[in-house]
Amino acid sequence: MLFLLFFPTGSRAMLPLLVLMLCVNTVLSAMTTDPTLDQHWELWKNRYSKTYNKTEEGWRRMVWEKNLKKIELHNLEHSMGKHSFTLGMNHFGDLTNEEFRQMMNGYKPRAEKKVKGSWFMKPNFLNVPSSVDWRESGYVTPVKYQGGCGSCWAFSATGAMEGQLYRMTGRLVSLSEQNLVDCSRPEGNEGCSGGWMDRAFQYVLDNGGLDSESSYPYMGVDMPCRYDPSYSVISLAGYADVVSGSEVSLMEAVGSVGPVSVAIDAGHTSFQFYQSGIYSEPDCSSLDLDHGVLVVGYGTAQSLLSDANYWIVKNSWGSSWGDNGYIYMSKDNDNNCGIATAASYPLI
């Protein structure tokens, strides 16, 4: 759309309006979308049940197209051997990276060492297996979805507790993230605004239990605490932290104990749209962590060129994200994305 304004010679009174119209024209010109993607856009909206008002849809369409171009470029570079993983369009496609990080990444930086916490001690004569996948042994519940609540810390914590409960009893019981979101503020967590896995373990320790998922279902919003001890299925004796920054110690803990809670730097567009392969992000930080996840194993992928070690990581963004809800993160790669910086697990 072009605005043509005519002024008398020497007139200055209308110059501000001219500048305004030129700015509007620039914005409107930038808001054009690619008509060849119309069908693709409609299919994507239908798949993820996306609805917008007329004003919002134009903006979301532009964000989606920009993300799609980034994905296509990355995958082209992957086909040329420049990346070890692929990206794919998912339900975060209409979010800018800033919006995505604010909505989904709720891990808070680790607080000071707690009195009741302990340190992981490598068992005597431990022979760490070269590969482990605790999913195959029944330790891991199906992938869950945190929704728009910054409760990743709660899902990471329940995943670690579910694994330890199975290890001790042989029963795999889905535990309540909502119980943690609603009730662990006295321990320092902030519900949907974020939290710590250690603080979640501390709550269960202080509280004397945690309800099951079926008795205290996930709502994805902050609500009043409704813990009922009659539905509690687990109690803790404490929790242990893994030596910070040591992937060897993390491997020993995962290999001997079971799934371990970890915090990572997940704030990059490459993580937002991860789809398959071994994730290695050169821009990742090993200190600025923003997302809680669960390491459920590790292994080595063989290729024609080399062998690549990886961590098997369970996320809480639903099974339509990543590799059926999982991401395979680079292992023994200088603590890439901080995966070994803040690892811990509960003690039963």
Q: What single-letter DSSP state applies at residue 229?
A: G
SS3 212: strand
Q: To the nearest 10°, the Cα dihedral for 151, 155, 158, 159?
A: -160
Phi/psi for 109 (5° steps) reads: -55, 145
CA dist., res. 31 & res. 19, Å (int): 19
CA dist., res. 312 & res. 259, Å (int): 10
Residue 251: partners with Cβ closer than 8 Å, 6 or more residues away:
128, 298, 331
CA dist., res. 111 & res. 106, Å (int): 14
CA dist., res. 340 & res. 24, Å (int): 49
Looking at residue 127, its amino acid is: N
CA dist., res. 253 & res. 302, Å (int): 24
Residues with catalytic function: 152, 291, 315
CA dist., res. 157 & res. 239, Å (int): 11
CA atoms within 13 A on the CB side of 161: 33
Instruction: Tell me how crowded residue 27 is: count the other CB atoms within 10 A of its CB.
Output: 9
